[in-house]
């Protein structure tokens, strides 16, 4: 199913810049992820890692999450799937109230969220197609559990490899591929889940500039064509400006800027990476 990307209204919570209203938003669209006043701390006496974060992710949009190391980007992504504790606030993802889920329900939620990581997390000695097939194990029949994948699943895995541009590598060992190719395998594996949401945590941090651009273009096209919201954690500002529909900037666990990418520029986003001594001047 193909859907056109929707750009939601500018968020104002914890925002230090004023953004123009986005009149192109389809107000009928319902977000697939909704976060309200999220606070996260890992222990009772620890400082807050996230402090009052609000977030909506809409079908078909690509959202870049910017922030320096320690800003809370990874914790926010983990909170969406129950891997980080929710101290207070509301978190709804892919139709699940994350704060109310037991272990079995958490597994169901995680099967609905495709994840792409910096280190690819492939099994190097296995073939590319087998790595992709592992993405569908949560819906696997008994034969799949023992490694004899159904022909329908193999057909789908090959189609996904075609979608990400490396069908010719289906039978190659994953470890023989370049970094950019391995990340494409990881994306195909995530799509094998039939996800409702995709979270990509620093997916191009280990890639060269050319491969980074290629992978981000692929993720954005998937969001647009499949109607899947994609949240991408990045640390390179120009990549966010070029490859997203909306940008959210985190600093010390708070959103300090949020808005449609065309309404933002490098100067407005500079505070996301400001040094501590610069803030005091």
Segments of the chain scoring below 50 in pLDDT: 1-28, 143, 145-146, 276-281
For residue 1, count CB atoms less than 10 angstroms from its CB and return exposed for 0-12, middle for 13-18, buried for 19 or more: exposed
Number of domains in the chain: 2
Q: What is the pLDDT of residue 235?
A: 86
Q: pLDDT tens digits for 168-215?
A: 999 999 999 999 999 999 999 999 999 999 999 999 999 999 999 999
DSSP for 148-200 reads ---HHHHHHHHHHHHHTT-GGGTTSBGGGS-HHHHHHHHHHHHHHT--SEEEE
Domain assignment present for 280: no
Do 90 and 147 fall within a single domain? no
Do 140 and 169 fall within a single domain? yes
Q: pLDDT tens digits for 238-265?
A: 999 999 999 999 999 999 999 999 999 9
What CATH code is carried by the domain that includes residue 209? 3.40.50.300
Give the number of other Cβ atoms within 10 Å of residue 189's Cβ. 26
Q: What is the pLDDT of residue 22?
A: 37
Do 139 and 97 fall within a single domain? no
Q: What is the pLDDT of residue 275?
A: 59
Domain assignment present for 272: no
Do 166 and 33 fall within a single domain? no
Do 184 and 223 fall within a single domain? no
By three-state DSSP, how is residue 262 classified?
helix
Do 9 and 30 fall within a single domain? yes
Q: What is the pLDDT of residue 150?
A: 85
Domain assignment present for 276: no
Do 103 and 215 fall within a single domain? yes
Q: What is the pLDDT of residue 280?
A: 37
DSSP 8-state class, residue 106:
H
Do 50 and 170 fall within a single domain? no
Q: What is the pLDDT of residue 147?
A: 56
- 203/190 Cα distance (integer angstroms): 13
What residue numbers bound the domain in which 214 lies? 1-61+73-112+197-231
């Amino acid at each position: 199913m193909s859907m056109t990307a929707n750009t939601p209204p500018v968020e104002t919570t914890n925002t230090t810049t004023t953004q123009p209203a986005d009149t192109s938003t389809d107000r009928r669209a319902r977000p697939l992820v909704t976060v309200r006043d999220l606070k996260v701390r890992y222990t009772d006496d620890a400082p807050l890692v996230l402090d009052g974060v609000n977030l909506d992710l809409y079908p078909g949009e690509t959202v870049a999450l910017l922030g320096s190391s320690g800003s809370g980007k990874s914790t926010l992504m983990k909170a969406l799937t129950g891997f980080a504790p929710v101290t207070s606030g509301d978190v709804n993802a892919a139709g699940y109230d994350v704060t109310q889920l037991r272990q079995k329900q958490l597994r169901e939620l995680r099967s609905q969220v495709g994840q792409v990581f910096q280190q690819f997390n492939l099994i190097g000695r296995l073939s590319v197609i087998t790595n992709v097939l592992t993405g569908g194990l949560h819906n696997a029949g008994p034969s799949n559990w023992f490694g004899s994948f159904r022909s329908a699943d193999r057909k789908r895995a090959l189609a996904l490899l075609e979608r990400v541009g490396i069908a010719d590598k289906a039978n190659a060992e994953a470890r023989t591929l370049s970094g950019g190719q391995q990340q494409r395998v990881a994306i195909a594996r995530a799509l094998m889940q039939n996800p409702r949401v995709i979270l990509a945590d620093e997916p191009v941090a280990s890639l060269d500039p050319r491969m980074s651009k290629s992978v981000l273009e692929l993720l954005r096209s998937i969001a647009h064509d499949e109607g899947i919201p994609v949240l991408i954690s990045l640390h390179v500002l120009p990549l966010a400006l070029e490859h997203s529909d909306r940008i959210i900037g985190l600093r010390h666990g708070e959103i300090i800027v949020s808005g449609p990418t065309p309404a933002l520029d490098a100067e407005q986003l500079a505070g996301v990476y400001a040094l501590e001594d610069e803030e005091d001047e």
